[in-house]
Amino acid sequence: MNNLNLSTQFIVHPSGTLRGVLRVPGDKSISHRAMMLGALANGITQVSGFLEGEDTLATLAAFRAMGVHIEGPHQGQVILHGVGLQGLQPPTTPLYLGNSGTSMRLLAGLMAGQSFAVEMTGDSSLSRRPMRRVTEPLTTMGAQIETTAQGTPPLRIKGGQRLQGIDYHLPVASAQVKSCLLLAGLYANGMTCVTEPAPTRDHTERMLTGFGYPIQRNGPQVCLSGGGQLQATSIEVPADISSAAFFMVGASIATGSEVLLEHVGINPTRIGIINILRQMGADIHLHNEREIGGEPVADILVRASSLHGIHIPEEQVPLAIDEFPVLFIAAACARGETRLTGAEELRVKESDRIQVMAEGLQTLGIDAQPTRDGMVIQGGKIQGGVIQSYGDHRIAMAFTMASLCASNPIIIEDCANVATSFPNFVYLAKQAGIDIQLKVTGN
């Protein structure tokens, strides 16, 4: 996000192969949760590998605004002087959360349990995103929250309410809603249980365990009781598989490529990208598998291969939810038809990722037909063209990878938000062999 009326373009020329050893930045989901739990723990939490992206910095700034002393970030190191679950101070201004849905939805759960009122705002994209999915169950727990008439931000949370535990069945597979309710449950009377319709990322559950908070898992259900304490710990954040995904697809589609992605989180609830690409014929090997701070990690070796279209299994959708923009690029470069169904959630991300990706692929000469809940893509020859990313970081990075199969340059508009999740994307892309220029113009 910038507020100086600057416009940021990527100009990407077709280039040959992707090569090298790359370490992409820290996992966004884990970085957010490390700030939240570290701030609310008793004692000092040391975090390394923190993602210094705009989204996670928004979460960090929110806790500073509520009186938490936080040192850093400095080269991914953050030291949080936890204030305990009851130790936050009322912020003096609304909490501005930029582009970050994760910040707003998870903080909604935490803020519902505070004794003071909070207002949370965001940029134009976040201000369009649906919040009833969190405000409705939080209201059932006893919270008092106002949204716009459309159920979008700003959120005004009254505070000072006694929350009651809830037994909630998620209507959509969403880790943000699950996490929001578990975090509210820390402040609730009795037990809070959340049942998910399909597995979603479980970083909140793993990290709560790491902070010594008892949780019970029973198949699709996870429960905790309010009234406990978080004990400070140290956290090493692995590299983000959602950022690595761009290079996994890039290396798969660019002839002669070989890329080693180091220290990437391979939590089973996040590896849809590996499962789907392998089913399409990708050459992906995991090396040096290990566990770090309760999260599995590996080095991922990807070599070029000849991809073919598939019908993406629906159970993989929540496990790859942020990777579909770049998976659509893989599909455009694959032989035959790729069909995605069961992914209507893509319509309510930073942009409508079904519509925006279909539009961009069509601009590049690909037959991509959007459907209510997915897309049908015929692999083909990618031409050059000018793509609108609509300020969505993952759209901008996905079309950068399309250049590896393109016949002519691709210009991508409105790319500043790449800094929300992957601030050094252009640098790493260049290092790996992509011919990318960043052009910033004033208007």
Ligand X SMILES: O=C(O)C1=C[C@@H](OP(=O)(O)O)[C@@H](O)[C@H](O)C1
Provide the angle, in degrees to the nearest 10, between the axes of the packed helices 175-185 and 132-140. Answer: 30
CB closest to ligand PEP, residue no: 101
- Is 33 within any annotated ligand binding site? yes
**Helix (H) and strand (E) counts for the chain?**
12, 23
201 binds ligand X (CB under 6 A): yes
- Is 28 within any annotated ligand binding site? yes
- 389's contact among ligand X, ligand PEP, none, with CB below 5 to 8 A by partner kind, is none
Number of amino acids touching ligand X (CB under 6 A): 10
- 350's contact among ligand X, ligand PEP, none, with CB below 5 to 8 A by partner kind, is ligand PEP
Angle at 19 between CA 17 and CA 20, to 5 degrees: 170
Q: Indicate the residue among 175 and 186 with the shorter CB distance to ligand X.
A: 175
x-or-dash string of contact with ligand PEP, 97-116, rule CB under 6 A: --xxxx--------------
Q: Which of 202, 322, 326, 375 binds ligand PEP (CB under 6 A)?
A: 322
- Is 349 within any annotated ligand binding site? yes
Task: Report the C-alpha gap between 412 and 8 in whole angstroms.
Answer: 9
- The least CB distance from residue 174 to ligand PEP, in Å, is 9
- 205's contact among ligand PEP, ligand X, none, with CB below 5 to 8 A by partner kind, is none
- Is 217 within any annotated ligand binding site? no
Task: Report the C-alpha gap between 422 and 424 in whole angstroms.
Answer: 6
Query: Is there a catalytic annotation at residue 322?
Result: yes
Task: Report the C-alpha gap between 340 and 429 in whole angstroms.
Answer: 27
179 binds ligand X (CB under 6 A): yes
Neighbouring CB atoms inside 10 A of 431's CB total 14
Residues 157 and 120: beta-carbon distance below 8 Å: yes
- 421's contact among ligand PEP, ligand X, none, with CB below 5 to 8 A by partner kind, is ligand PEP
- The least CB distance from residue 387 to ligand PEP, in Å, is 17
Active-site choice (123, 240, 299, 322): 322
Pairing type for strands 295-303 and 283-292 reads: antiparallel
Q: Closest Cα partner for 63 from 71, 53, 51?
A: 71
- The least CB distance from residue 101 to ligand X, in Å, is 6
Q: 414: phi > 0 → left, psi -120 to 50 → alpha, else beta; which?
A: left
3-state SS assignment for residue 186: coil
- Return the sign of the alpha-carbon dihedral for residues 68, 239, 321, 193: negative
- β-strand partners of 167: 193
- 100's contact among ligand PEP, ligand X, none, with CB below 5 to 8 A by partner kind, is ligand PEP
Q: What are phi and psi of 43, to 5 degrees?
A: 105, -170
Q: Indicate the residue among 200 and 421 with the shorter CB distance to ligand PEP.
A: 421
Task: Please report, as residue ranges, which positions from 302 to 321 form the binding site for ligand X (by CB under 6 A).
Answer: 321
Task: Report the C-alpha gap between 265 and 287 in whole angstroms.
Answer: 12
- β-strand partners of 105: none
Q: Indicate the residue among 129 and 263 with the shorter CB distance to ligand X.
A: 129
Catalytic residues: 322
- Give the binding site for ligand PEP (CB under 6 A): 55, 99-102, 322, 349-350, 394, 421
- Give the binding site for ligand X (CB under 6 A): 29, 102, 174-176, 179, 201, 321-322, 345
Annotated binding site for phosphoenolpyruvate: 28, 101, 129, 176, 353, 394
